[in-house]
Structure 1
Amino acid sequence: MTSAQIDTPHGPARAELHCAAEGRAALLLGHGAGGGIGAPDLVAATRGATAAGVHVALVEQPYRVAGRRAPAPAAQLDTAWLAVAAHLSTLWFADLPLLFGGRSSGARVACRTADAGDAVGVVCLAFPVHPPGKPEKTRQPELDAVRVPTLVVQGESDPFGQPAPAHHRDIVSLPGDHSLKRDPATLSRSVEEWLHRILRPLD
């Protein structure tokens, strides 16, 4: 494991790099709004990705590196994320296919930036379809805008809602809520199997 600090237009971000033996692709994973990169579902997804031969960068947004808990505005999150992706793809993951992902708020960032960042796939953990109790404030369009293969792992009782299916979107429902911490083994296996399937044509 290696840690790197990366300058962005909104202050330094940090990436914790977990290298796979094979290195067939690289997956950038972002944290939730008030949490960090040690969240159980991010740890489980990292385990699954490296088992599939995919390098993982767990990305800490500048506001977290600066010690703030309140998230930055969406536009700042997206700009910082794309700066980190550009840096990593140049210095660490040259010539490798990039995948974007994250949990909750980090999943939204991954969806919004997938096109601009040339991601070949997106991994969403606990995508917050709407604020709890407010289904009219839907974020489903962010998910629908993603044009590449997408994996969504969602808790069956997630108060942030359930994503709608689509032809290029795989949805895995796990027991539990928004934390996705009840079944890390199945989460790891789901990420590993999905990555094998979508990367096989690119190998």
Structure 2
Amino acid sequence: MTHTIDVPTDAGPGRLVIDAPRTPDAVLLLGHGAGGGIDQFNLRALAERLPERGIAVVRFEQPWLVAGRKVAGAPRTLDAGWRAALDATARRWRGLPLVVGGRSAGARVACRCAAEPAAGVIALAFPLHPPGKPEKSRRDELAGVELPALVIQGEKDPFGTARELSETVQDNAGTRTLVEIPAAGHSLQPGRRSDPTGAARTIVDAAAGFVASLHR
């Protein structure tokens, strides 16, 4: 059953949307992108399927989205909202393993703010660079993560393909895992001729395995 909790932040109220089993073994906190909310394909798949594997999924709606604005705030504002969400999540499930992550801009926020009490980071469709502008790389945000990290990337993502990200992941062998979604772009959802259900299964299985690896 889904329920929500409002979270006060310096940028206004944010919102935690929670899908959790009765007695979770771990918690996954996820942020959304700048072009969509918490019901994006991959975030929804995780919220629907991970609780049955014992993982509580908490999707954080940034204050700009809660307020009904169409444009995301500045990075420092997003980071401040995220830290408030992280604190609230850690308090609610004190003592449980906590993994953080997000998709697109939400992945960038999770990477920039990766620190205890988080045990790992899941980056979904990390936007390595703006489309067509590889010289404007955000590699340092991902490379700077000192926690174990799982990166799930589309084969054809215009913001950075899995192949483009592989070098950054290989630089941190043993602490980074890269999973490619064949035929997928930035949404991580393959086209109509592909198998979106299979993509969801790949994302969920990879995330569940990663979370489990951090609290065995």
Task: Return the TM-score normalized by structure 1.
Answer: 0.91
> Structure 1: how far apart are the matches of 2:40 and 2:207?
21
1:178 aligns with 2:201: no
**Is 1:196 aligned to residue 197 of structure 2?**
no
Question: Following the alignment from structure 1 to structure 2, what is the Cα–Cα distance between the partners of residues 176 and 138?
Answer: 21
Structure 1 runs of 4+ aligned residues shifted over 6 Å read none
- Partners in 2 of 1:16 and 1:160 — Cα distance? 27
Taking a change above 3 Å as real, the CA distance of residues 128 and 103 of structure 1, as seen in their structure-2 partners, is same
AA aligned opposite 1:29: L
Per the alignment, residue 100 of structure 2 pairs with 100
Which runs of structure 2 are paired with 1:83-98 in the superposition (5 Å)? Answer: 83-90=84-91, 92-98=92-98
Partner SS for 1:158: coil
State the structure with bigger RCO (CA 8 A, min sep 6), 1 or 2.
1
Q: Taking structure 2 as the reference length, what is the TM-score of the superposition?
A: 0.86
Distance in 2 between residues matched to 1:178 and 1:69, nearest whole Å: 19
Cα gap change, 1:134 to 1:62, in 2 (>3 Å) = same
Question: For 2:214 and 2:110, how far apart are their aligned partners in 1?
Answer: 22
Gaps of 5+ in 2: 191-195
Q: Give the C-alpha shift of residue 193 in structure 1.
A: 4.2
Q: Secondary structure at the match of 1:202?
A: coil
Counterparts of residues 15-164 of structure 1 (less than 5 Å): 15-90=16-91, 92-115=92-115, 117-162=116-161, 163-164=165-166
- The alignment's C-alpha RMSD in Å is 1.7
Measure how far apart 1:180 and its partner are.
Answer: 1.2
Q: Report the residue type matching 1:110 in the other structure.
A: A
CA contact (8 A) 1:44 1:185 kept: no
Aligned residues: 201
- Does the residue aligned with 2:16 lie in a helix, a strand or coil? strand
Worse-superposed segment, 190-199 or 17-26: 190-199
Deviates more, 1:55-64 or 1:192-201: 192-201
Structure 2 contact 121–148 (Cα < 8 Å) conserved? yes
CA separation of 1:185/1:22 partners in 2, compared to 1, >3 Å: closer, same or farther?
Answer: farther
For the residues of structure 2 that align with 1:197 and 1:152, how far apart are their CA atoms?
10
Checking the alignment, whether the CA contact within 8 Å between 2:50 and 2:204 is kept in structure 1 is: yes
1:198–1:61 Cα change, 3 Å: closer
In structure 2, what is the Cα distance between the partners aligned to 1:159 and 1:99?
Answer: 27
Shift of 1:195: 3.2
Task: After TM superposition, give the deviation of residue 97 of structure 1 in Å.
Answer: 1.5
The answer as to whether partners of 2:98 and 2:120 remain within 8 angstroms in 1 is yes
One-letter amino acid of the counterpart of residue 189, structure 2: K
Contact kept, 8 Å, 1:131 with 1:137, in 2: the verdict is: yes
Q: CA 1:152/1:173 → structure 2, altered by over 3 Å: closer, same or farther?
A: same
Q: Give 1:87 shift.
A: 1.2
